[in-house]
């Protein structure tokens, strides 16, 4: 809030996140029956061009006091006109949006190893005048890009990592990997930055042209599949000065939600247990050995017996990440990795404690020792009603993309191939529904930690095919095709329009914070799962990416030579086994 007039008139409220809303509005009721829609614009305009001069302050106040509301309305572009302009500008960037979708799809980088993706995205942002801070929160592939000045500060966040073994040729309606066994965008995170960067570039243009005060920030969801960074972002203070967070995630529908939404969110801790035993010849002197693998198996058996006596809301799963080396050596080292999911902090904490108890008991039984490492955590998300209601209107205004026959053919063929319900792509926008009374739990997302620190919503934009299993090659099929290109353009429009709502109607920022303080966090207070010693697990996936990156590199998308990634790969769109 650096501009003179703005600071001057709003100085009655200086608390960090409470955005002084009514500023000039508070003057207007004296003269106008109707609320002036663009006070922020006027203030910013004056402040930026005149600096903090006496003339500016005096002329600001004089103008406010003397001019009728309607005059300002004529002088300043109105919000609806700005929104129209924003949507048109997003359309003009369709080629860039498509290139970002395709390029990030081709990088196919696993969590914490998103080096190409981060270099590419920050390159675009830096070229367009954003200031980028690299390596934030102790995560080499994380960054914060900033543009603008003053309040409100609106942050855009979206994930960038992909899924192991999900490599898949886009536009092909059956399993056909680009590189066998390689990672791939089988979650669709490749489209998120296309949505947020497109929106941010358009907002920057409009802010410059119309002298709109405010700050845009972009942050990547690094290693979201590992629930690996956002609690660390919060701990590092990345959102301390942020007023509103607009998250975006790929979906097959166009929707937003508030509170606990459809109830299909869990929070979790992700913990790795490392057992240490004693090596020996497994046939000649097994009595000399102590098997770390035995401890892993006993821990897993112990957990599965106990599972029957846990609340139905819990969901827990594991993979053995080290089962020893070869059968004739008693395994001196073995490790197992658990996700413990529940509906709220106390229950997640209980599961975490129980996991530790069972691990210790398995170590005792086998004469081994154990230590554990927390490698991820997430609160269950809780989303802001004021922002969701504002966003919903923009979703309805933008509407679903127009799907072509080819898009529908691909969708139906894939649904048929995997044995899902064959219904093609969605054609209607989802209404905003009330949060369910009794959440059942389901997947997790570490945006939860952000949502308990700043008012936030999570836009679901329609860039994928419905009825897919998730986290698989099938979820990558549409992700570098016109389905994801069009869905990302639609998503970018909603992000831009919603940001404009909050930039130009400061009272909405206040209302969002009122909901956050008086409803969401009235009785529940955020407490991190992280201990002060916990660090981001930035070494994860390093070996896998080192193995696959050289093979994937041959298939990186080159937009200078090919219009689309489909064209580069020589894929006829759509490629289907049989016409459904
Ligand atoms: Zn995701």
- Distance, CA 249 to ligand 1 centroid (Å)? 6
Q: Which residues of 183-210 are buried (b: 16+ CB within 10 A; e: fewer)?
A: bbbbbbbbbbbbbbbbbbbbbbbbbeeb
Q: Ligand 1 centre and the CA of 221: distance in Å?
A: 9
Is 336 part of any domain? yes
Q: List, as one string, the DSSP characters of 7-50.
A: HHHHTT---SS-----GGGGTGGGT-SS--S-HHHHHHHHHHHH
Q: How far is the CA of 448 from the centre of ligand 1 (A)?
A: 12
Phi/psi of residue 274, each to 5°? -110, 115
**What end-to-end distance do the CA atoms of the chain give, in Å?**
58
Residue where the block lists tokens 């000045």? 149
Q: Is residue 578 part of a domain?
A: no
Q: How far is the CA of 67 from the centre of ligand 1 (A)?
A: 50
Distance from C-alpha of 534 to C-alpha of 444, rounded to nearest angstrom: 20
Q: Select from 76, 100, 133 the last residue of a domain.
A: 76
Residue 297 in tokens: 């198996």
Q: Is the dihedral of CA 87, 91, 93, 94 positive or negative?
A: positive
For residues 538 and 165, what is the distance between their CA atoms, to the nearest angstrom?
A: 20
Distance of CA 111 to the CA centre of its chain: 13
Residues 160 and 65 in one domain: no
Q: Determine the distance separating the centroid of ligand 1 and the alpha carbon of 142, expressed in angstroms.
A: 17
Q: Is residue 171 part of a domain?
A: yes
Ligand 1 centroid, distance to 346 Cα (angstroms): 24
367 and 282 belong to one structural domain = yes
Same domain, 89 and 159: yes
Calculate what percentage of the chain has a pLDDT beyond 90.
Answer: 86
Q: What pLDDT, on the 0 to 100 scale, is given for residue 77?
A: 58
Reduce the DSSP state of residue 488 to 3 states and report it.
helix
Q: How far is the CA of 427 from the centre of ligand 1 (A)?
A: 22
- Among candidate residues 322, 354, 374, the one where a domain is terminated: 374
CA atoms within 13 A on the CB side of 421: 5
- Ligand 1 centre to CA of 23 (Å) is 39
Interval between CA 363 and ligand 1 midpoint (Å): 35
CA of 170 to the centre of ligand 1 (A): 18
Q: Of 458, 462, 459, 457, which Cα lies nearest the Cα of 488?
A: 462
- How far is residue 481's CA from residue 575's CA, in Å, rounded to a whole number? 11
What spacing in Å lies between the alpha carbon of 445 and ligand 1's midpoint? 7
How large is the angle between the packed helices 192-210 and 79-92, nearest 10 degrees? 130
**CB-based contacts of 320, cutoff 8 Å, min separation 6:** 296, 300, 334, 335, 336, 337
Helix (H, G, I), strand (E, B) or coil at 384: coil
Q: Which residue has the tokens 């039984």?
A: 365
Q: Residue 446 in contact with residue 394, Cβ under 8 Å? A: no
Is-contact 225 187, C-beta < 8 A? Answer: yes
Centroid of ligand 1 to alpha carbon of 278 (angstroms):
40
Interval between CA 479 and ligand 1 midpoint (Å)? 13
CATH of the domain at 561: 3.40.630.10
217's tokens:
């920030």
CA of 80 relative to ligand 1 center, distance in Å? 32
pLDDT for 564:
98
Question: In angstroms, rounded to a whole number, what is the distance separating the alpha carbons of residues 264 and 445?
Answer: 11
What is the CA(493)–ligand 1 centre distance, in A? 20
Q: Domain range holding 354?
A: 267-374
Q: How far is CA 12 from CA 8, 20, 61, 123, 450, in A?
A: 9, 8, 15, 40, 28
Based on the fold, state whether residues 537 and 400 are members of the same structural domain: yes
Domain's final residue, options 320, 340, 374: 374
* CATH code: domain of residue 330: 3.30.70.360
Asked, for residue 29, whether it belongs to a domain, the answer is yes
Per-residue confidence in pLDDT tens, the chain, 580 aa: 333 233 333 333 333 343 333 333 333 332 333 333 333 333 333 333 333 333 333 343 444 443 333 333 333 458 999 999 999 999 999 999 999 999 999 999 999 999 999 999 999 999 999 999 999 999 999 999 999 999 999 999 999 999 999 999 999 999 999 999 999 999 999 999 999 999 999 999 999 999 999 999 999 999 999 999 999 999 999 999 999 999 999 999 999 999 999 999 999 999 999 999 999 999 999 999 999 999 999 999 999 999 999 999 999 999 999 999 999 999 999 999 999 999 999 999 999 999 999 999 999 999 999 999 999 999 999 999 999 999 999 999 999 999 999 999 999 999 999 999 999 999 999 999 999 999 999 999 999 999 999 999 999 999 999 999 999 999 999 999 999 999 999 999 999 999 999 999 999 999 999 999 999 999 999 999 999 999 999 999 999 999 999 999 999 999 999 999 999 999 999 999 965 4
Question: Looking at the DSSP assignment, which residues form a beta bridge with residue 219?
Answer: 157
Burial of 228 (0-12, 13-18, 19+ CB in 10 A): buried
- 574 within domain boundaries: no
Q: Which token pair is 330?
A: 């008693």
> Comparing C-alpha atoms, which of 450, 437, 342, 455 is closest to residue 390?
455
Tell me how far the alpha carbon of residue 159 lies from the centroid of ligand 1, in angstroms: 7
* Shared domain check, 114 and 25: no
Residue 83 CA to ligand 1 center (angstroms) comes to: 28
212 & 317 share domain: no
Are residue 307 and residue 335 in the same domain, yes or no?
yes
Q: Are 222 and 113 in contact (CB under 8 A)?
A: no
Q: Which pLDDT score is estimated for 578?
A: 66
Q: How far is it, in rounded angstroms, from Cα 325 to Cα 323? A: 7
Interval between CA 446 and ligand 1 midpoint (Å): 10
CA of 131 to the centre of ligand 1 (A): 26
Q: Which residues surround ligand 1, an ion (CB under 5 A)?
A: 187
Q: Where are the beta strands (DSSP E) in 379-465?
A: 456-462
Question: 373: burial class by Cβ within 10 Å (0-12, 13-18, 19+)?
Answer: middle
How many A from CA of 376 to the centre of ligand 1? 15
| Contact between residue 455 and residue 466 where contact means Cβ atoms under 8 Å apart | no
pLDDT given at position 246: 98
Looking at the fold, whether 96 and 190 belong to one and the same domain comes out as: yes
Tokens linked to 145 = 């890009």
Distance in angstroms (rounded) separating the CA atoms of residues 118 and 551 = 19
Q: C-alpha distances in angstroms, 72 versus 27, 43, 76?
A: 13, 11, 6
| Number of domain units in the chain | 3
Overall pTM surpassing 0.75 (yes/no): yes
Residue found by looking up tokens 């490790």 in the block: 335
Neighbours of 388 (CB within 10 A): 26
For residue 160, how far is its CA from the centre of ligand 1 (angstroms)?
Answer: 9
CA dist 112 and 544 (Å) reads 11
In terms of domains, do 457 and 414 share one?
Answer: yes
State whether 68 and 110 are in the same domain.
no
Residue 60: predicted pLDDT:
39
Tokens matching residue 366: 């086998």
Question: What's the pLDDT tens digit per position in 301-312?
Answer: 999 999 999 999
575 located within any domain: no
Q: CA distances (Å), 337 to each of 78, 112, 284, 497, in order?
A: 54, 17, 31, 42
Going from the Cα of 506 to the center of ligand 1, the distance in angstroms, rounded, reads 31
Positive or negative, the CA dihedral 238, 240, 243, 247 is positive
Q: How far is the CA of 521 from the centre of ligand 1 (A)?
A: 25
Q: Are residues 132 and 96 in the same domain?
A: yes
User: How far, in Å, is the centroid of ligand 1 from the Cα of 31?
Assistant: 50
E strands present in 104-243: 131-134, 143-149, 153-159, 214-221
Instruction: Report the percentage of the chain scoring pLDDT > 70.
Output: 86
Query: Does 99 share its domain with 207?
Result: yes
**How far apart are the CA of 189 and the centre of ligand 1, in A?**
6
pLDDT at 11: 33
Residues 6+ apart with CB under 8 A from 520: 259, 382, 384, 452
Separation of 243 CA from ligand 1 center, angstroms? 23
Asked if residue 441 belongs to a domain, the reply is yes
- What the block records as the tokens of 30 is 């004296």
Residue 577 lies in a domain: no
pLDDT at 579 (0 to 100): 54
Centroid of ligand 1 to alpha carbon of 225 (angstroms): 7
């Amino acid at each position: 809030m650096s501009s003179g007039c703005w600071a001057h008139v709003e100085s009655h409220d200086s608390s960090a996140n409470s955005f002084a809303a009514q500023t000039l509005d508070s003057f207007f009721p004296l003269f106008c029956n109707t609320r002036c829609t663009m006070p922020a614009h006027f203030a910013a305009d004056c402040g930026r061009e005149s600096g903090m001069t006496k003339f500016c302050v005096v002329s600001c106040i004089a103008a406010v006091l003397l001019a009728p509301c309607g005059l300002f309305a004529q002088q300043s572009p109105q919000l609806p006109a700005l929104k129209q302009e924003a949507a048109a500008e997003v359309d003009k960037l369709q080629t860039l949006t498509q290139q970002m979708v395709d390029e990030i799809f081709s990088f196919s980088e696993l969590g914490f190893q998103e080096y190409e993706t981060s270099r590419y995205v920050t390159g675009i942002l830096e070229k367009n005048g954003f200031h980028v801070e690299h390596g934030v929160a102790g995560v080499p592939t994380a960054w914060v890009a900033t543009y603008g000045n003053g309040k409100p500060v609106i942050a855009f966040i979206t994930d960038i990592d992909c899924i192991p073994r999900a490599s898949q040729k886009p536009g092909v309606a059956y399993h056909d990997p680009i590189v066998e066994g390689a990672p791939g965008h089988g979650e669709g995170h490749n489209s998120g930055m296309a949505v947020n960067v497109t929106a941010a570039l358009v907002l920057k243009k409009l802010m410059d042209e119309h002298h709109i005060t405010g700050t845009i920030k972009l942050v990547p969801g690094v290693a979201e599949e590992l629930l690996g960074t956002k609690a660390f972002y919060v701990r590092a203070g990345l959102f301390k000065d942020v007023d509103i967070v607009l998250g975006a995630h790929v979906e097959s529908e166009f929707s937003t939600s508030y509170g606990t939404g459809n109830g299909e969110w869990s929070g979790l801790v992700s913990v790795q247990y490392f057992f240490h035993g004693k090596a020996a010849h497994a046939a000649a002197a097994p009595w000399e050995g102590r098997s770390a693998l035995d401890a892993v198996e006993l821990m897993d058996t112990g957990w599965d017996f106990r599972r029957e006596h846990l609340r139905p809301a819990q969901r827990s799963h594991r993979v053995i990440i080290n089962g020893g080396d070869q059968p004739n050596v008693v395994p001196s080292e073995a490790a197992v990795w658990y996700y413990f999911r529940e509906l709220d902090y106390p229950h997640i904490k209980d599961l975490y404690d129980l996991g530790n108890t069972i691990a210790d008991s398995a170590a005792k039984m086998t004469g081994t020792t154990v230590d554990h490492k927390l490698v991820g955590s997430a609160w269950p998300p809780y989303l802001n009603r004021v922002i969701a209601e504002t966003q919903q209107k923009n979703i309805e205004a933008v509407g679903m993309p127009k799907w072509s026959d080819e898009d529908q053919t691909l969708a139906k063929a894939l649904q048929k191939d995997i044995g899902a319900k064959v219904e093609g792509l969605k054609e209607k926008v989802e209404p905003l529904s009330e949060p369910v009374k009794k959440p059942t739990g389901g997947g997790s997302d570490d945006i939860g930690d952000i949502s308990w620190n700043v008012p936030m919503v999570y836009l679901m934009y329609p860039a994928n095919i419905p009825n897919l299993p998730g986290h698989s090659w099938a979820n990558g099929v549409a992700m570098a095709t016109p389905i994801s290109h069009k869905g990302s353009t639609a998503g970018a429009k909603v992000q831009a329009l919603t940001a404009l709502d909050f930039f130009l109607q400061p009272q909405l920022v206040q209302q969002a914070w009122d909901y956050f303080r008086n409803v969401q966090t009235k009785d529940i207070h955020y407490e991190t799962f992280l201990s002060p010693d916990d660090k981001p697990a930035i070494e994860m996936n390093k070996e896998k990416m080192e193995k696959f990156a050289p093979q994937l590199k041959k298939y990186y998308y080159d937009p200078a030579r090919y219009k689309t990634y489909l064209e580069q790969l020589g894929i006829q769109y759509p490629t289907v086994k049989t016409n459904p």
